[in-house]
Structure 1
Amino acid sequence: MAMASRLRARVVLSRCEWSNLRSLLRPSLNRGFSSSSIPSHLERVGFIGLGNMGFHMASNLITAGYKITVHDINYNALKKFSEKGIPAKETPCEVAESSDVIITMLPSSSNVLDVYTGRNGLLHCRSHLSPWLFIDSSTIDPQTSRMLSTNISKCLLKEKKGFANNPLMLDAPVSGGVPAAQAGTLTFMVGGLEEAYLAAKPLFLSMGKQTIYCGSSGNGAAAKICNNLAMAVSMLGVSEAFVLGQHLGITASTLTKIFNSSSARCWSSDSYNPVPGIMEGVPSSRNYDGGFTSKLMAKDLTLAVSSAAEIGLKCPLTSEARDIYMELCEKGYDSKDFSCVFRHYYSGLAAFVRRSPISYAVQARFLKQQCCPIIMQA
């Protein structure tokens, strides 16, 4: 009864349609998520966007036993799948024709709009769509997610699949980056109809380890923007503290021990340390290559600034963080991991430099020439 009440609050269904929807959802809630028990309404999946993240997500779905059809504007990305016998289509519309569910993983709001509503897009045949569910895992603004969800709900299904005549959409951006995409340990933040989220959970758990339901349409996108905002500000604070500590004569390794055993402990210090020479396996250990680029962080912070402006909310740290990452991109570090802010904005040193003998004269010259922006402003 509780589930029925929630559903009635979000969408108007007839009793017959509600009965059909419950029969559709029940198997997905009771079954395990192994490839041998894939629900029929999730079996055929179209995946669009085979970049650093999408490539691994689609590959994990194939491993889990789903029948995948793919599309990307990059021919080389498509070739990697077609050589393995995975159907590759030239347009999003062709992918939709042979899929029960569509998953998109694209760089920006404009890319998402083009794939969904552009020429030969997913919604090209609005009156008879094959997919019953569209899942967008791109990081875009909540307004675009909500607008697309509304447009999709106005379409009709080519073939009824046990529930309402109208297809549904979930916004489901991810956290964890490329390593988590490859390992299948992503976290999905999902917005949209809760019953659709529950029905699609086997798909999410084939690509990730955790799903978090965030509420109505657009809330998944909003959650991702807030998550990345907090991540950016945290990285800036940790980087600034490391550089100030170096200027005051404390090694980065000592500060790391202090941070990670005290109130300053956070992901940016204990799992993604920005100081070269402190931690292996993170971008700072490989000249900031790989990981989450400064360009993408600048994009996400721009989305956060725009979202705050639309509701009249003052977010000074968001604006400052956006400006810093925009400056990094303008200086040519757009393809470097966002933790490069430690070196290329604050002029921090690698850990081993402070461990080596260095004269007071050299230290004084460094402090004069390389002072961090906060000290200079003071």
Structure 2
Amino acid sequence: MKIAFIGLGNMGGGMAANLVRAGHTVRAFDLSEDALARAEQNGCTRATSIAAAVADAEAVVSMLPNGQIVLSAYTGEVIGHAPRGALFLDCSTIDVATAREAAEKAREAGYEMVDAPVSGGIAAAAAGTLTFMVGGSAEAFARAEPILQAMGKAVIHAGDAGNGQAAKICNNMLLAIHMIGTCEAFRTAEKLGLDPRTFYDISSVSSGQNWSMTSYCPVPGVGPQSPADNGYEGGFATELMLKDLRLAMEAADSAGVTVPLAQRAAALYEDFANAGNGRRDFSAIITSL
């Protein structure tokens, strides 16, 4: 299949490479010359613009920083430039309203579009083990699924347009809250004289068990390998977690839901980011406790 890929950053670069490995022909575009050069090394063909990338594409995949850029790209250089019948898959994490607006504009122009944000981080993007949460019609999902399977280990239909984004931000809201609680528990146990490994052995098989503890432990040398074992480098940056928390709070407000724990988590992560930790993994917040 001929696929256009827009946005070759830390996540998009690995995703585009996996599409090539799966046998697709990928024409890629990014504003970064370095990103384009890496994409070429991974088997992609360089495009000089978004419009050029999508000109003969059967599918368009995007991984972009925010909703404004997504909407601008699709309304300005994708819709009307890609062949009629091309499928659009936006894998960016953006606000629900913009995802739905982009999908509606695509539908009005005769295209099908899904929002398919990811969970898994940079390593999973490179390894092709991402989880995709997909919003869109059943027909669009059926077309998108085999493309997404080339980049991930799990592809889940979340419902109509925008529901992929809803699933992503609600999941990460819960993750942020869990991580802070896990960090507080480890720090308290340590100060009370309990060895972190011993606490892990107990809590990981008790009622306090959660993913932040057993799969992404914030304490170096405890549990499976995690960013904590690499000086909190790599993984999921604090600034990205803060972005997702803000999106979650915005969506909750629009739905009339109160989220006091999310608000407190966002305040803590904002303080942590403002102290110069924005690019450190979000589990590094344990160092501030």
TM-score by structure 1 length?
A: 0.74
When the two chains are superposed, the root-mean-square deviation of aligned CA atoms in Å is: 1.5
Distance 1:184 1:244 in 2: 37
Gap runs ≥5 in structure 1:
1-42, 156-165, 347-378
Alpha-carbon shift at residue 223 of structure 1 (Å): 0.2
Q: Please report how far the alpha carbon of residue 305 of structure 1 lies from its aligned counterpart in structure 2 after TM superposition.
A: 0.7
Match of 2:67 among 109, 113, 118: 109
Moved over 2 A (4+): 81-86, 128-131
Structure 2 Cα separation of the partners of residues 212 and 252 of structure 1:
36
Residue pairs, 1:27-106, within 5 angstroms: 43-83=1-41, 86-106=44-64
Query: Are 1:122 and 2:66 matched, yes or no?
Result: no
1:202 is aligned to 146
Match of 1:183 in 2: 127
Which residue does 2:104 correspond to in 1? 150
Aligned to 2:245: 301
CA distances 1:334-358 after superposition (whole Å, capped 9, x unpaired): 0000000111x21xxxxxxxxxxxx
Q: Contact 1:102–1:131 at 8 Å: present in 2 too?
A: no
Is the Cα contact below 8 Å between 2:5 and 2:61 reproduced in 1?
yes
Q: Quote the sequence identity (%).
A: 40
Q: Deviation per CA, 1:212-264, whole angstroms, max 9, x where unpaired?
A: 11110000000000111111111011001111111222121111111111111
| Structure 2, unaligned runs of 5 or more | none
> Would the alpha carbon gap of residues 131 and 329 (structure 1) be closer, same or farther in structure 2, given more than 3 Å must change?
farther
Q: What's the counterpart of residue 183 of structure 2?
A: 239
SS in 2 for 1:180: helix
Deviations along 1:75-94, whole A, 9 cap, x unmatched? 11101233466321121111
What amino acid is aligned across from residue 89 of structure 1 in structure 2?
A
Q: Equivalent residues in 2 for 1:1-378 (5 A)?
A: 43-83=1-41, 86-118=44-76, 121-123=77-79, 125=80, 129-130=83-84, 132-155=86-109, 166-279=110-223, 281-343=225-287, 345-346=288-289
- Distance change in 2, residues 1:138/1:85 (3 Å): closer
Query: How many residues are aligned here?
Result: 289
Q: Check conservation: 2:131, 2:154, Cα contact below 8 A.
A: yes
Q: Residues 98 and 130 of structure 1 are in contact (CA less than 8 Å); yes or no, is this contact kept in structure 2?
A: no
Q: Given residue 73 of structure 1, which amino acid in structure 2 is its aligned partner?
A: L
Instruction: Report the alpha carbon displacement of residue 98 of structure 1 after superposing the two structures with TM.
Output: 2.1
User: CA–CA distance in 1 between the matches of 2:182 and 2:44?
Assistant: 44
Q: Which amino acid letter does the alignment assign opposite residue 217 of structure 1?
A: A
Show CA shifts across 1:24-46 (max 9, x none).
xxxxxxxxxxxxxxxxxxx1100
The alignment partner of 1:200 has SS state of helix
- Contact kept in structure 2, 1:99 and 1:130, CA below 8 Å: no
- Contact kept? 2:112, 2:140, Cα under 8 Å: yes
Find the residue that maps to 1:116 and give its secondary structure.
helix
Secondary structure of the 2:217 match is coil
**Separation in 1, partners of 2:78, 2:85:** 9
Normalising by structure 2, we get a TM-score of 0.96
Q: In the superposition, relative to structure 1, how do residues 227 and 314 fare at CA in structure 2: closer, same or farther (>3 Å)?
A: same
Larger Cα Rg: Structure 1 or Structure 2? 1
Instruction: Provide, for residues 312-331 of structure 1, a one-character-per-residue CA deviation record: whole Å limited to 9, x for no partner.
Output: 21100111111111111100
